[in-house]
Amino acid sequence: MKIGVIGTGNMGSLIVDALIQSKSARPKNISVMNRTEKKALDLARKYRGLTVHHSAAEVIRRSALVFLCVKPLQFFPLLQSVRGVWRTDQLAVSITSPVAVEQLEKLILCPAARVVPSIVNQALAGSTLVTFGTSINEHMKNKLWHLLEHFSHPIEIAEENIRAASDLSSCGPAFLSFLLEKLVDGAVQSTGISQKQAMELTAEMVIGFGKLLERKTYTLDELRKKVTVKGGVTGVGLNVLNHECSTVFEHLFEETQKKFLEDHLAVDPFFNGTD
């Protein structure tokens, strides 16, 4: 299958990496385009055979499935510029969460879906969040699902849950990285352990932690209780976390939801009156 990727920033490049590393697509079957051509050319140098085009229209003409990996405010101008290029046998896949699939379907001739990737897909792991449009048939759904299964665990997400799901799956690695950095910094500043050793121990702990969850050895609650011995050090540390972090994630989700609504308000006017 010929695959196109319009926009090769962080997420677009991630998708290309995941497709090729999982062997779900060969470089010769992938076409890319980016406003700053250097980023696209860097991918072509990395993956011999991958084709760089100068226009989004050319990528669409040469592809059966097209990933649209542009920022929210770039989305409508892009769709307007290629409105007459799509074919009914293609599939358009947005990765832009503030743009509803319903809005995408108003401006193109072909079926549409949204897929929100995660940086952990580069390790051929983690989830991808999938929302299907109303015009996509079962054959196309299965085709996209099977493609995503090569490098992720696809999960279908309703439109109203896309922000919270994205915070957990796609933003989550950044949130956890921040917390783990704080864990390491706290150890270094409060004890004699070196930064290098603290980072190594934390990284190994996270890898093992992930494997326990992957094997379903414990739930999060079971794991916490297993490590916590009555009257022990872990319990003392958990008391500190419970006291100082009890509302931090509520505030986090409130702020990300607020930003999501702001993005919607910025994007929606472009799509009004496009019926």
**Strand extents, DSSP E, the chain:** 3-6, 30-33, 51-52, 65-68, 91-94, 112-116, 127-132, 153-156
Nearest residue to 12 (alpha-carbon basis) of 59, 67, 92, 66: 67
Nearest residue to 161 (alpha-carbon basis) of 128, 138, 134, 129: 129
Which positions make up the binding site? 6-11
Only one residue has tokens 């085009």, namely: 53
Per-position pLDDT tens, the chain of length 275: 999 999 999 999 999 999 999 999 999 999 999 999 999 999 999 999 999 999 999 999 999 999 999 998 898 899 999 988 999 999 999 998 888 899 899 889 899 999 999 999 999 999 999 999 999 999 999 999 999 999 999 999 999 999 999 999 999 999 999 999 999 999 999 999 999 999 999 999 999 999 999 999 999 999 999 999 999 999 999 999 999 998 999 999 999 999 999 988 888 887 776 55
Which positions make up the binding site for NADP(+)? 6-11
Tell me the CATH class for 172-251: mainly alpha
Write the CB contacts of 8 (distance below 8 Å, at least 6 apart in sequence): 16, 32, 33, 34, 39, 40, 43, 69
Q: In the chain, what are the domain boundaries?
A: 3-162, 172-251
Q: What CATH number belongs to 3-162?
A: 3.40.50.720
The whole model's pTM is what?
0.91
Helices (H), 22-137: 37-46, 56-61, 72-81, 101-107
Question: Could you tell me the two tokens for 109?
Answer: 């001739």
Alpha-carbon distance of 76 to 58, in angstroms, equals: 18
Q: Do domains 3-162 and 172-251 have the same CATH topology?
A: no
Give the C-alpha distances (Å, rounded to integers) separating 241 from 199, 236, 246, 247.
20, 9, 7, 11
Alpha-carbon distance of 73 to 110, in angstroms, equals: 22
